[in-house]
Amino acid sequence: AADGLIEVTNVGPRGRKEYGITESGRVDLLAWITRPHDDTPVRRPEVLRVFLLGEIPAGQARNYVTRMADSADHALARYEHIRDSVEWGDSDTAFFARAALEFGLRTAAMEADWARWLAEAIDRRNEPQR
C-alpha cells in the first residue's frame, strides 16, 4: 500500500511490515538532497548560552561547561557503540551511513575537548592574581 512518501508491504507469515520509499517520495528526496542552500540555519542554543555565561557567577558557568563536556562524552560513547556494533557492509548506503556517524563521532569529541578547555580557561581566569 502506498501512503504518501512511504510504501508499506506485508512480508512473511506473521505479516511483518517492510517500509520503502515511493517513486514520488524518491523524487522529493533527491531534490532535497541536492538543494542544501534551502536548509534553515543551524541553531545551537547551548553555544548561545556560553556567549552569555558572563552574566552568571564563574562557578555556575564552569558547571555549565562541565555538563556540556559530560554530555558530549556520553554522545561520543553512544556513537562509538554504534560504530563498533554494526556490521557496516560494502554498499553505498552503508558507506554514507558510516560517514554520517563519523561526523557525530568527530563533533562529539571536539565538543567534549572544547568544553574541557573552556572549564580550564574559566579556572585560570578566576585564579587569584599574584
Over range 70-95, report the average pLDDT: 96
For 4-22, how does the pLDDT look when each residue is reduced to its tens digit (9 = 90+)? 677 777 777 777 788 888 8
Q: Which residues pair with 19 in a beta bridge?
A: 8
Answer for the pair 24, 32: CB distance below 8 angstroms, yes or no: no
Q: Output the 3-class SS for 29-86.
A: HHHHHCCHHHCCCCCCHHHHHHHCHHHCCHHHHHHHHHHHHHHHHHHHHHHHHHHHHC
Predicted confidence at residue 7, as pLDDT, reads 74
Predicted confidence at residue 121, as pLDDT, reads 97
Predicted confidence at residue 101, as pLDDT, reads 98
Measured in whole angstroms, the distance separating CA 65 from the mean position of its chain's CA atoms is 18
| pLDDT averaged over every residue in the chain | 90
pLDDT at 41 over 90: no
At 28, which amino acid appears? D
Higher pLDDT, 83 or 31: 83
Percent of the chain scoring above 70 in pLDDT: 95
Predicted confidence at residue 4, as pLDDT, reads 66
What the block records as the C-alpha cell of 43 is 541553531
pTM here is 0.75
The DSSP letter of residue 36 is G
pLDDT at 71 over 90: yes
Predicted confidence at residue 120, as pLDDT, reads 97
Query: Residue 130: pLDDT band by 50, 70, 90 thresholds?
Result: low
CA gap 87, 83 in Å, rounded: 9
